[in-house]
Each structure stands twice: as structure tokens, then as C-alpha cells.
């Protein structure tokens, strides 16, 4: 009696699970953050330069505010350019925040629970504080709009008057807590700008040693300019130089 050989059953090898391609690639998120970040940096520098007109007196500062509202009028509607700029900034802000949250989640997921932290340096402090300073900047923007643009109580001063840019600014910074909050926020903004410009340059393909060094210098210069230029205003109001 012959034995019947058992049929050969092929052994199935387990295929590794396929990695899903992210709906929004990381490189694209970094690019969006870099472009919007540089846009915000340019805006805060130009905004700071405009704010310095307050040292020229009420007539000059109020005239500058009115010029912004009537820019390109009657080619465009009254405050048309101003509202277009606001829309661009709001869209950029939403994109910037969305991409930052996305990248933060992916970074934590890839690092895992046992990630090691390096020693604290100026560069690492800027990197670690970007989320914190970004949140403070967002809160400050909301506060600033309610205080200086819409005049919403109780954020704005009791003497807020629509169209009186100089008087509203002085009345707001005459409150010590507002002046202190503004000063602290400008320090955090400087940290955010300095590290942000350097990071944005790398994300946009600037990899050369000299180019990276130049980006660091530009970011640092913009940060210092914004800090000093903007902080001078509440200090001047508190000292009685602007009234």
C-alpha cells in the first residue's frame, strides 16, 4: 500500500501594510507655512514703520490712517484695499495655523513617546517656543482689533472714537496693563520672527551656509526692528511724551 503525498500548501507571506500617502504632503505644509510666515513678517515690519508716524503728532498719524482707508479711491471702493489686505491676512492666518498644527502632530507621532530632548540653546528655545509664541500672537491680534479697530468694550478704552487713530492709540496705551501686555507681546513676536524667518528660508530651499547665515541675520534684524519700533510707542505714552 503506497502512501499518498499530502498536497503542497503554499505558505502565505504577510505583506507589510501599505503606507498611505498623506492627503496634504509635509513639504507642502512647510511651504505654506514659510510663505505665509514671510508674508506676516513683511506686514509687521511695514505696520511698525507706519505706527512710527505717531511720533509726528495727531495730524500726521490720523492722516496716515485716512490714507489707508482711501488708498486707490475712487478706482476701488472706500477701504477696498484695506479690506482686501485683511482678507489676505485672514486666509494666510488660517493656512498658517492649520499647517502648524498638522506638522506638530506629525512630528510628535514620528518621534514617539521616548523622544530625547537636547540641551537648551538659543536655536532650540526658538523652535520649542514657536507654538507658544504663535498662540500669544493670535490672542494679541484679536485683542488689538477689538482695542484699536472696532473699539469693543471692555477691551477698548472708554474714550474710543471711530476715526481718531492717534487719540485711540494714546488712550489705550495710557493704561499701564495694556502697555505692559503690548511690550511683552513684542518680545515674543521678536522671538517668533527671528526663528521663523530662518526656518522659512530652509523650507524654501535655502541650504547654503552663507545663505542660511544671511537669512538668520535678516530674521534677527527684522525681529529687533519690530521689537524696538513697536515697544517705543507704549513707553512714550507712559512717559508722557505722547499725549
Does any domain span residue 62? yes
Q: Which pLDDT does position 195 carry in this prediction?
A: 93
Closest CA to 132 of 185, 94, 92: 185
Count up the domains in the chain and report the number.
1
Does any domain span residue 178? yes
CA angle 142, 146, 147 (to 5 degrees): 115
**Per-residue model confidence as pLDDT tens for the chain (243 residues):** 555 555 555 555 566 555 565 678 999 999 999 999 999 999 999 999 999 999 999 999 999 999 999 999 999 999 999 999 999 999 999 999 999 999 989 888 887 665 555 555 555 666 778 888 899 999 999 999 999 999 999 999 999 999 899 999 999 999 999 999 999 999 999 999 999 999 999 999 998 899 999 999 999 999 999 999 999 999 999 999 998
Q: Could you tell me the three cell numbers for 183?
A: 511690550
Beta-carbon-side half-sphere exposure of residue 129 (alpha carbons within 13 Å):
19
Does any domain span residue 1? no
Question: Domain of 101: which CATH number?
Answer: 1.20.1300.10
Give Cβ neighbours of residue 157 (< 8 Å, ≥ 6 apart): 147, 168, 171, 172, 174, 175
Rounded Cα gap, residues 120 and 193, in angstroms = 19
User: CA gyration radius for the chain?
Assistant: 26
Does any domain span residue 196? yes
CA angle 140, 89, 40 (to 5 degrees): 70
Does any domain span residue 98? yes
Could you identify the residue written with the cell 537636547?
118
**Could you give the 3-state DSSP secondary structure of residue 218?**
helix
pLDDT per residue as tens digits for the range 57-96: 999 999 999 999 999 999 999 999 999 999 999 999 999 9
Q: Which pLDDT does position 23 carry in this prediction?
A: 77
Does any domain span residue 217? yes
For 18, other C-beta atoms within 10 Å of its C-beta total 6
- What are the C-alpha distances in Å from 137 to residues 23, 81, 83, 129, 134? 28, 24, 21, 12, 5
Rounded Cα gap, residues 138 and 144, in angstroms = 10
Domain containing 32: what range? Answer: 26-106+122-239
Does any domain span residue 187? yes
Rounded Cα gap, residues 227 and 41, in angstroms = 12
Does any domain span residue 11? no
Give Cβ neighbours of residue 175 (< 8 Å, ≥ 6 apart): 157
CB-CB contact of 199 with 212 (8 Å)? no
Amino acid at each position: 500500500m503506497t502512501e499518498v503525498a499530502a498536497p503542497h500548501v503554499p505558505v502565505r507571506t504577510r505583506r507589510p501594510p501599505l503606507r498611505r500617502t498623506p492627503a496634504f504632503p509635509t513639504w507642502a505644509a512647510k511651504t505654506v507655512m514659510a510663505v505665509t510666515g514671510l508674508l506676516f513678517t513683511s506686514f509687521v515690519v511695514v505696520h511698525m514703520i507706519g505706527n512710527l508716524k505717531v511720533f509726528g503728532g495727531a495730524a500726521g498719524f490720523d492722516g496716515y490712517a485716512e490714507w489707508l482707508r482711501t488708498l486707490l479711491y475712487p478706482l476701488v471702493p472706500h477701504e477696498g484695499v484695506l479690506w482686501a489686505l485683511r482678507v489676505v491676512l485672514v486666509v494666510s492666518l488660517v493656512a498658517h495655523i492649520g499647517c502648524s498644527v498638522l506638522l506638530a502632530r506629525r512630528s510628535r507621532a514620528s518621534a514617539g513617546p521616548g523622544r530625547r530632548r537636547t540641551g537648551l540653546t538659543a536655536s532650540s528655545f526658538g523652535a520649542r517656543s514657536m507654538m507658544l509664541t504663535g498662540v500669544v500672537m493670535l490672542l494679541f491680534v484679536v485683542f488689538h482689533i477689538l482695542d484699536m479697530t472696532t473699539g469693543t468694550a471692555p477691551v477698548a478704552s472708554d474714550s474710543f472714537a471711530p476715526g481718531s487713530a492717534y487719540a485711540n492709540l494714546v488712550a489705550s496705551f495710557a493704561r499701564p496693563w495694556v502697555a505692559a501686555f503690548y511690550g511683552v507681546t513684542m518680545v515674543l513676536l521678536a522671538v517668533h520672527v527671528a526663528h521663523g524667518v530662518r526656518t522659512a528660508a530652509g523650507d524654501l530651499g535655502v541650504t547654503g551656509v552663507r545663505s542660511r547665515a544671511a537669512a538668520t541675520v535678516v530674521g534677527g534684524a527684522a525681529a529687533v526692528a519690530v521689537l524696538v519700533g513697536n515697544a517705543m510707542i507704549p513707553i512714550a505714552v507712559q512717559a508722557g511724551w505722547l499725549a
